[in-house]
């Protein structure tokens, strides 16, 4: 008989899941940079990178080799320990959230009953937690320290300005982002991301929270773009004003870690949006064919990633005062209004 409660087996399965999830996302982020450059080139009437490999497919590999062999230059008056630590905080905080996202439904291993004497089922998530959503919000909030410390430790006025902007921006929009999720929590009654995705399986796999929480989705989407420092909220980098912002003094692999962390953060907030508002792995025929779940999930994540690129090629950057006013005077009241409406409707229906 196959013992699914064997701690060694569970630990091995979790290690394999972590390895596959981390490497899949790192490969995705490498090629996401290529996709972004090619899509922006099309939008701007250019060709983009197309010389290294077939259609430029080896360009991410060439960029990685360049970063590895590039000279690592550090400012003489930098606070060295913090200067080196900051990019590692950025990449670690970005990757740590991957273990709780549900990539698919509970799947039964094919022919498991034949080989092991009993059906073996497993959820397509590395670690299922009762407080998974709280864990995601807690870990991602650490990312602001990486940018603030990088800006301060570099001993550069441009880096410091980028770090200060980022701290103010991320704290401001993190409040709206967290409040935008309260409506989903009130509807679902849980912080378990897997359960939230499962509850959206009605209506032929299309009972998504976005239909019940359009205001919450609107606030989350804008706040997530601001949290990841992407256009039109890329004030912490602002190449035309601050050279490169908080990572002006970084080069070689330290710069690459910040670069990778930005794309990993884009991917993880897209995963969270897909899970909370677009049903996660839910879709037509998932109940009959669970293997379709991961494909639906990946397709929804790609939709949000394309939206990121589209916005970068379309919108101009905000002024800093416009950014702060928009966050505090518009997004925050809308998020609070959404909570009041959701709570009122929930009390009305539950009281019946």
Of 183, 225, 227, nearest to 345 by C-alpha is 183
Residue 111 has pLDDT above 70, yes or no: no
Please report whether residue 196 resides in a domain.
Answer: yes
Count CB atoms within 10 A of the CB of residue 286. 23
Give, in degrees to the nearest 5, the angle at Cα 111 between 106 and 112.
60
Please report whether residue 24 resides in a domain.
Answer: no
pLDDT tens track for 277-291: 999 999 898 888 888
Expressed in angstroms, the distance from the first to the final Cα of the chain is 49
Q: Confirm if 154 and 249 have CB atoms less than 8 A apart.
A: yes
- Domain total in the chain: 1
Residue 270 tokens, joined: 């897209």
pLDDT tens track for 251-309: 888 888 988 998 999 999 999 999 999 999 998 988 888 888 999 999 999 999 999 99
* Alpha-helical runs (H) found in the chain: 7-43, 59-69, 80-95, 112-116, 132-140, 143-153, 157-180, 182-188, 193-198, 202-205, 214-227, 239-242, 252-277, 292-312, 320-326, 332-351
Domain of 201?
69-351
> Taking each helix axis from N to C terminus, what angle separates 214-227 and 157-180, rounded to the nearest 10 degrees?
160
Min mean pLDDT across 37-51, 134-148, 228-242 is at 228-242
Please report whether residue 63 resides in a domain.
Answer: no
Per-residue pLDDT, averaged over 41-55, amounts to 88
Give pLDDT, residue 1.
36
- pTM for this predicted structure: 0.90
DSSP-derived letter for residue 316 is P
Give pLDDT, residue 6.
60
Residue 17 has pLDDT above 60, yes or no: yes
Per-residue pLDDT, averaged over 70-81, amounts to 85
The two most distant CA atoms of the chain are separated, in Å, by: 69
Please report whether residue 30 resides in a domain.
Answer: no
Please report whether residue 107 resides in a domain.
Answer: yes
What gap in Å lies between CA 181 and CA 191, rounded to an integer?
A: 10
Of 102, 195, 191, nearest to 138 by C-alpha is 191
Please report whether residue 33 resides in a domain.
Answer: no
What gap in Å lies between CA 90 and CA 334, rounded to an integer?
A: 30
pLDDT tens track for 155-197: 888 888 878 888 888 888 989 999 999 999 999 989 999 999 9
Please report whether residue 21 resides in a domain.
Answer: no
What gap in Å lies between CA 339 and CA 332, rounded to an integer?
A: 11
Please report whether residue 51 resides in a domain.
Answer: no
CA 146 distance to own-chain centroid: 16
Question: What is the rounded average pLDDT for all residues in the chain?
Answer: 86
Give pLDDT, residue 172.
87
């Amino acid at each position: 008989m196959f013992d699914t409660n064997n701690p060694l087996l569970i630990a091995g399965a979790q290690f394999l899941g972590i390895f596959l999830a981390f490497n899949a996302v790192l490969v995705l982020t490498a090629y996401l940079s290529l996709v972004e450059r090619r899509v922006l080139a099309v939008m701007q009437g250019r060709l983009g990178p197309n010389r290294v490999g077939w259609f430029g497919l080896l360009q991410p590999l060439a960029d990685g080799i360049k970063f590895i062999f590039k000279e690592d230059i550090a400012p003489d008056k930098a606070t060295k320990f913090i200067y080196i630590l900051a990019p590692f905080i950025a990449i670690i905080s970005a990757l740590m959230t991957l273990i709780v996202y549900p990539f698919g439904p509970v799947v039964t291993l094919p022919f498991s009953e034949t080989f092991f004497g009993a059906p073996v089922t497993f959820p397509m998530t590395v670690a299922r937690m009762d407080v998974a959503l709280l864990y995601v919000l807690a870990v991602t909030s650490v990312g602001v320290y990486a940018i603030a410390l990088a800006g301060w430790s570099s001993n550069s006025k441009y880096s410091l300005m980028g770090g200060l902007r980022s701290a103010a921006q991320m704290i401001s929009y993190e409040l709206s982002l967290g409040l935008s999720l309260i409506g989903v929590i009130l509807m679902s009654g849980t912080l378990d991301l897997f359960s939230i995705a499962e509850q959206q399986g009605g209506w032929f796999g299309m009972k998504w929270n976005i239909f019940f929480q359009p205001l919450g989705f609107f606030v989350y989407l804008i706040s997530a773009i601001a949290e990841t420092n992407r256009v039109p909220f890329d004030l912490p980098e602002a190449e035309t004003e601050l050279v490169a912002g908080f990572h002006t003094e970084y080069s070689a692999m330290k710069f690459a870690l910040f670069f990778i962390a930005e794309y990993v953060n884009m991917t993880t907030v897209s995963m969270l949006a897909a899970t909370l508002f677009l049903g996660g792995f839910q879709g037509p025929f998932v109940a009959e064919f669970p293997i379709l779940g991961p494909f639906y999930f990946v397709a929804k994540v790609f939709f949000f990633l394309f939206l990121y690129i589209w916005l970068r090629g379309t919108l101009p950057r905000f002024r800093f005062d416009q950014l702060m006013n928009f966050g505090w005077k518009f997004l925050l009241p809308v998020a609070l209004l959404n909570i009041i409406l959701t709570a009122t409707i929930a009390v009305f229906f539950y009281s019946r």
